[in-house]
Amino acid sequence: MCAKLSLAVLFFLAASLPDWAADSLFDTDSFSFEQSIAELHDAGKLTEPESFPRLRRLVARQMIAENKIAFEKEWGKPTDSFPRWMEKHGELLETFLTAIDAEHDDIPAALALMKRLCTDHPDKVTKYPGLTVAAAIVWDQPDSKGFAEDSYRQFKALPPKSGCDAMENFLFYAAADHPAAARLQQLPWEFLVYVVANKRSLEERRWVFEQYIKAGKINDDVPAQAYADVPYNEDETKPNADTALTGREYSLENIRNRGGVCTARTDYALPVARSLGIPSFYGGAGFPRYKNGHAWIMWLDVKKIEPDGISYVFMESGRGDPRFYVAGYESPQTGRLETDEEIKLRFHRLGKNPMAYHHAGLLMPCYRSLVESGRLSTEQRIDLLLKINALAPKNVMAWREIASLGKTRQLTLRHRRTILELAAGMREDLLDFPNELPALTLNLVDFPEIREGHWDGYRWKVFEPLFNAVWAGKRPDVVFTTTINFNRLRTAGIRDKAGLEVPTDLHVRQFHDKKDAASIENALFMLKNLFHNYPAEISLMDDVFDEMESVAAIRNFGTEKSVDHWYGEFAGRLTTNLSALPLDYRRNALRRFRNYARKHDFIQRADEMTNLLEKLEKGDEKK
């Protein structure tokens, strides 16, 4: 059967469901999720596309079984009117139940809000199913999730006079005359989570309509236009500066008229975009060392919505410095920090094939159930996870489970060929979304034989293609992480032995010492090459210095002299051709190099660093 099923096929499958589907989802007394999943797996049906309706129903039923007390308290008994109404709208019910994040969502609050939405506005709920689900799982905890509208304190401003509650917010988007009504009816809830997270008042939203719709400014780039509409006040970047919004209400109109720095521009653009029904995201640079924090706007420009795929373009405006490699902000659903790469990857997979994406997501708890029951060997676990990834590729969760087999010592030296194949598959699948590749690769080969030195050649066979790939990918941050991870792996066994007695046999001891010393020198050389080749990556450099000093301290092989020498070379560059780098960074680096020299009694180097610091300070005074 074709991997992509149309809605018509799904409706046919739902209309011809066997006896298991006729059971009430709320009848959980004799229900066993583990047994049901095991039966599907044993029949070879678990990853088959036609099993999606049954699988979704099983996962939804398990959600009720695990939270039976909360369901009965908020919705009543299975025979009560509301559960029966929900069962008549099975698509909505099952989508909602499988959308809940049991770890992060407030399940009783989400159930209560869902009941209120369905009871008070049943016609709108059935017309806007994705919007309903998104509203229930975002507004369950509106004070502890990523709504991104609390920055008024930064500008010494007053909070907005009024906001919007969960029901007002839902009705605003479910209004027939909303400019994005057609899109809001069709988009999956995953898109709409990034629309409904909007606390701005109805009055301010009407103001947005006047400024952008009635004024004829609505277009594909309206979030970028909104970001640019806020004047940038350079003087507000100075410490303790008053702002144009000091003592004034942090309203959208005031922000646009009076301006601010990047935070204000994003605080304005985000609710403007969401009020207009555009899935949008707050981009925060994470305040890296030696750089000011930064914020910008990102959004999905949805082009076409079809049952077997959603066409869109991921857009952003205001990112500025290309060295802000990763943006992050709290998820509106979970409140967990999520990166822009996670968002891009999620919608890349969802847009390609919504049903396959949802199917693969449902399979992950099924996989864990089978593992906990002891039904899967290591080889069977790998096989199932690869099938899950094949269903909807670039599945980071599946790759994490595969990589954990090394970390949990399910993989050993006898799996060397399998490990090389898995590493290659992982690289090929995730290379255009590389953030997790270094950690995944490290976990995949982190087992005892590595520490015992039996895998020296093979670990390089795993990492070398990754190095080649990330070096070519123009992501120094990933290069840095890959290098540090590989060298931690390379030196793991040496660290283990460092506190133990060395072998008593002279020849054995000399052999091990020479081998270990060579490994440490090679590790240090790779780390040194990072600040040699990427000197401008100042927000990443302290991690390299930390790792170099940690490696050099493992055993007394005299490698501290190498580190001191390289520090001296780099210090010279910081005061000559790298003098344009931030003063704080150069000052802190020189102080660090001086402290290292003093710690190891390299007196001449310490004096050299002191002289360079004095020249640096004098140069700053002249400026």
The string of pLDDT tens digits covering residues 304-340 is: 999 889 999 999 999 887 778 888 899 999 999 999 9
Indicate whether 17 pLDDT > 60: no
Name, in order, each residue with C-beta under 8 angstroms of 27's C-beta and a sequence gap of 6 or more: 78
What is residue 568's three-state secondary structure? helix
Mean pLDDT estimate for the chain? 89
Beta bridge partners of 412: none
Q: How far apart are CA 433 and CA 551, in angstroms?
A: 30
* Start-to-end Cα distance in the chain: 72
**Report for 259-268, 292-301, 511-520: range of highest mean pLDDT:** 259-268
**Closest of 115, 110, 107 to residue 85, by C-alpha:** 115
What six digits make up the tokens of 328?
């992050």
Using only C-alpha atoms, the chain has a radius of gyration, in whole angstroms, of 29
Q: What is the distance between the alpha carbons of residues 265 and 284, in angstroms, rounded to a whole number?
A: 12
Q: Are 201 and 162 in contact (CB under 8 A)?
A: yes
* pLDDT at 127 exceeding the cut of 70: yes
pLDDT of residue 622: 52
pLDDT of residue 57: 97
pLDDT, residue 322, reads: 76
Cα separation, 157 vs 251, in Å, equals: 9
**pTM for this entry:** 0.90
Closest CA to 341 of 352, 333, 465, 349: 349
For the stretch 50-67, pLDDT in tens is: 999 999 999 999 999 999
Total Cβ atoms within 10 A of residue 437: 27
Contact yes or no for 277/300 (Cβ under 8 A): no
Question: According to the 3-state scheme, what is the secondary structure of 18-78?
Answer: CHHHHCCCCCCCCCCHHHHHHHHHHCCCCCCHHHHHHHHHHHHHHHHHHCHHHHHHHHCCC
Q: What is the pLDDT of residue 596?
A: 97
Instruction: Indicate whether 526 pLDDT > 60.
Output: yes
Burial class (CB in 10 A: 0-12, 13-18, 19+), 543: middle
Band of residue 2 on the pLDDT scale cut at 50, 70, 90: very low
**Does the pLDDT of residue 105 top 60, yes or no?**
yes
Contact 546, 572 (CB under 8 A): no
Q: What is the pLDDT of residues 30-51, one digit of tens each?
A: 899 999 999 999 999 999 999 9
Q: Are 565 and 537 in contact (CB under 8 A)?
A: no
> Would you call 328 helix, strand, or coil by DSSP?
strand
pLDDT in tens, 419-467: 999 999 999 999 999 999 999 999 998 877 766 666 777 888 899 999 9
Are 83 and 114 in contact by the 8 Å Cβ rule? The answer is no
